[in-house]
Amino acid sequence: MDRNTFLKNALYLIIAGITFPKWLLTLHIPFNSHKEEIRRLLSNLDSGFILNNMADEMGKEYLSMVKGEISGINLFTGSKGRQAIQKINLENGLPPLFMVQEEIKADFESNRLIRLRGWVLSETEAMLCAYYNLTT
């Protein structure tokens, strides 16, 4: 490997390293360690008694509904996400329960609602379900 090739490869690796987390989220492959954490968060919501057993299928339905929207963009910070979630930034880990509850209440007050498996849910709840579904 000559000096120029080495420098070129090193530059590619640096660029890939810098962009890796965003690139990972763009493809919607959340960290596995979040799965249990998300499940706990969903259980503790007011709607936990419904989401507990149905989060996965609701998330799947939501993702199928917004397929075009999330392709190539982040689930929570893309144009769809920005409408619903102002404060939640999953790159810093899951937000505290009260913050999610606030967002859900704000969704209901502003009629940012979506019907999944027949249930009328807030967009925040729907996206958390989608996030749960994506977390394998």
Contact between residue 122 and residue 108 where contact means Cβ atoms under 8 Å apart: yes
Residues 81-110 as x/- pattern, contact with other proteins by CB under 8 A:
-----------------------xx--xx-
Site membership for other proteins, residue 115 (CB under 8 A) = yes
Nearer to other proteins, 8 or 115 (CB): 115
Residues 27-66 that bind other proteins (CB under 8 A): 46-50
Q: Which of 38, 63, 75, 121 binds other proteins (CB under 8 A)?
A: 121
Helical packing angle, 97-109 and 34-44, nearest 10°: 60
Show the 3-state SS of 30-67.
CCCCHHHHHHHHHHHCCCHHHHHHHHHHHHHHHHHHCH
Q: How far is the CB of 27 from other proteins (least distance, A)?
A: 31
Contact between residue 102 and residue 122 where contact means Cβ atoms under 8 Å apart: no
Nearer to other proteins, 50 or 73 (CB): 50
- Six-digit token pair at 113? 């609602």
Q: Which residues bind other proteins (CB under 8 A)?
A: 46-50, 104-105, 108-109, 111, 113, 115, 117-122
